[in-house]
Amino acid sequence: MKIDPGLKPITLPNTVEKRTDQPDGNKGADTRQTDVTLSSRATQLQQMETRLAAIPVVDRARVDSIKDAIVTGQYTINTGNIAGSLLDSVREMLHVAR
């Protein structure tokens, strides 16, 4: 099996707790009132965006529970699922290579 050297590993940040409200480019944005009225759909989207920004990117409680399960030896690995997924990947790669 040949591994594609074109793929580069992705390094994830060590700690990502929650999304930022606004990109850094908006820090000095002008906050004067304008004569723009948003449609009800745009207002809904804006409210949803605000709620989404408050949701943590990483579920800390879930991560901690998995860590605890690993430490205590209670975390079980379904080797059948892993093997099946590996075989599916190989089949897909073979199909794409044709």
Domain hosting 68: range is: 59-98
Residue 22: is it exposed, middle or buried by C-beta count within 10 angstroms (0-12/13-18/19+)? exposed
pTM: 0.35
Q: What is the pLDDT of residues 40-79, one digit of tens each?
A: 898 899 999 999 888 888 888 999 999 999 999 999 889 9
**Per-residue buried b or exposed e for 41-53, using 16+ beta carbons within 10 Å of the residue's own CB:** eeeeeeeeeeeee
* Average pLDDT of the segment spanning 21-43: 71
Domain total in the chain: 1
* Average pLDDT of the segment spanning 24-31: 58
- What local confidence, expressed as pLDDT, does residue 1 receive? 47
Is the residue at 65 inside a domain? yes
Is the residue at 1 inside a domain? no
Is the residue at 18 inside a domain? no
Is the residue at 32 inside a domain? no
Is the residue at 92 inside a domain? yes
Long-range contacts of 84-92 (CB under 8 A, 24+ apart): 90/1
